[in-house]
Amino acid sequence: MPVRMHVELVYDPGCPNVARAREVLATALRANGVPAVWAEWRTDDPALPKYAEGLGSPTILVNGNDVAPGPHPWAPREAADAPRARVYVDERGRRTGVPPTSQVTAAVLRALSPDVG
């Protein structure tokens, strides 16, 4: 049975961390033998899916799941709100503007694993 993987990058226009998020995403995908291909959504795009509304920037989703799930430190986005940067914690406990490669890799590996449920 072929594995289906849908990867998405959601970001605010002008986000200073988008280029690095793309690098992390490409690295994690290629390291696991997955083509470095994903969909990108700008938060100001009228076609932005409902499930991606209100996410901080940048957010990486694998099969609809946030690679760094958990409570987020911001309130729901209002139409007039400014863009919001997301903060992640790396393997050494330092704050960073992109999800650590290890978290993206773990999400990719979960998506590659057979669902035996």
- Per-10-residue mean pLDDT of the chain, 117 residues long, equals 81 94 97 94 95 90 90 52 76 90 94 73
What is the pTM for the complete model shown? 0.85
Measured distance CA(25)–CA(57) in Å, rounded: 14
CB of 52 closer than 8 Å to CB of 41: yes
User: For residue 111, how far is the Cα from the chain centroid?
Assistant: 14
Amino acid letter at 34? V
| Alpha-carbon distances, residue 76 vs 28, 58, 60, 81 (angstroms) | 29, 16, 18, 9
